Amino acid sequence: MKESLHKDQQNPMENVDDWEENLLHRYPDPSEAKKEKEEFRNYVDSERLDTVREFYRINHEYQTYDFVCNKEAEFLKFDKKEMSIWEAVEFLNTLVDDSDPDIDLDQTQHLLQTSEAIRADGHPDWFVLTGFIHDLGKILCLFGEPQWAVVGDTFPVGCAFSNKIVYPEFFKENPDNTNERFNTKYGVYEPNCGLDYVKMSWGHDEYLYQIMKDHLPDPALYMIRYHSFYSQHRENDYRHLMNNKDVEMFEWVKKFNPYDLYSKAPVPPNVKELMPYYKELVAKYLPEKLNF
């Protein structure tokens, strides 16, 4: 890093989920396209857009190949905390949203809205479970990680950054962008080597995938691992690194995305009523305790 950022500079957004709200404007719900346009106009003027922009500026500058290696070494030891899923959910909920407590849902409610929308459409139970846990990796914030290393679009590091990634101009400040090892189309990778060999920018997606990888079927793992990889699942700009299995599995990632983005129901889920179903579901697939 060129200079170290002050704590406040590291976390420009008031709420860690502001980037997701921003995503809704980039990829509006097709069924609400007209309304979204209206709202976007207001949003453009707002201060929040600036904070999200600033968030991406830092994210794109500091997410380098070496940074990802260091974070993997630090967090894939899983020596931070031993928790059940329920303890992790409770822990994540301490990540309070102080921007607008009346309107915004807490983290459990976002998870339940996603999973309940999946359940309502009659998908298999592991798909429902995936909806319920997909953002648990955001507990990285509670381990003191800055926003830009937890949320935001994810993208491959170790090869050229796609122009289809949001705010591509901010990659100019990323040292990998001028490093010959990393700044070619394939960088350190081989054509169609498969995403398993490709390092993604570090965040809540990869972290949770690594925790869940022995417990869930492949489609569920792909959804968890790549749900923020918009430059592929929405823009299809990294096909040259993917193998046939990736291509097949990304159909699931695409299927998952609308539930993540557009499942905000007008009525918040009744957590108490839903709990017995989710207790059983979690117990079916996951061990009592997991290492975070």
Q: How far is CA 46 from CA 20, 73, 97, 153, 185, in A?
A: 16, 38, 18, 21, 36
* Rounded Cα distance, 176 and 155, in Å: 13
Stretch that binds Fe ion, among 8-16, 22-30, 129-137, 153-161 (CB under 5 A): 129-137
Cα 4 to chain centroid distance, Å, stands at 24
Residue 242's closest CA among 255, 259, 229, 224?
A: 229
* Rounded Cα distance, 286 and 274, in Å: 18
| 83 beta partners | 290
Closest distance to Fe ion from the beta carbon of 138 (Å): 7
Q: Judged by CB, which is closer to Fe ion: 136, or 159?
A: 136
Based on the shown chain and the rule CB under 5 A, indicate whether residue 206 belongs to the binding site for Fe ion.
Answer: no
Please report how the helices 244-262 and 18-26 are oriented relative to each other, as an axis angle in degrees rounded to 10: 110
Cα 47 to chain centroid distance, Å, stands at 23
**Cβ–Cβ under 8 Å, residues 211 and 291:** yes
Q: Judged by CB, which is closer to Fe ion: 94, or 178?
A: 94
Cα 202 to chain centroid distance, Å, stands at 10
Based on the shown chain and the rule CB under 5 A, indicate whether residue 260 belongs to the binding site for Fe ion.
Answer: yes
Based on the shown chain and the rule CB under 5 A, indicate whether residue 135 belongs to the binding site for Fe ion.
Answer: yes
Closest distance to Fe ion from the beta carbon of 48 (Å): 18
Stretch that binds Fe ion, among 24-32, 134-142, 152-160, 232-240 (CB under 5 A): 134-142
> Which amino acid type is present at position 247?
V
The position carrying tokens 């591509």 is 168
Stretch that binds Fe ion, among 133-141, 217-225, 231-239, 276-284 (CB under 5 A): 133-141
Burial 184-210 (b: 16+ CB within 10 A, else e): eeebbbeeebebeebbbbbbbbbbbbb
Stretch that binds Fe ion, among 46-54, 88-96, 98-106, 128-136 (CB under 5 A): 128-136
Closest distance to Fe ion from the beta carbon of 72 (Å): 19
What are the φ and ψ backbone dihedral angles of 162, each rounded to 5 degrees? -75, 145
Closest distance to Fe ion from the beta carbon of 151 (Å): 7
Closest distance to Fe ion from the beta carbon of 162 (Å): 20
Based on the shown chain and the rule CB under 5 A, indicate whether residue 153 belongs to the binding site for Fe ion.
Answer: no
Stretch that binds Fe ion, among 63-71, 117-125, 132-140, 179-187 (CB under 5 A): 132-140
Based on the shown chain and the rule CB under 5 A, indicate whether residue 18 belongs to the binding site for Fe ion.
Answer: no
Closest distance to Fe ion from the beta carbon of 13 (Å): 14
Within 13 Å of residue 79, how many CA atoms lie on the same side as its CB?
4
Closest distance to Fe ion from the beta carbon of 132 (Å): 11
Q: Judged by CB, which is closer to Fe ion: 12, or 137?
A: 137
The residue count for binding Fe ion (CB under 5 A) is 2
Contacting residues toward Fe ion, per CB under 5 A = 135, 260
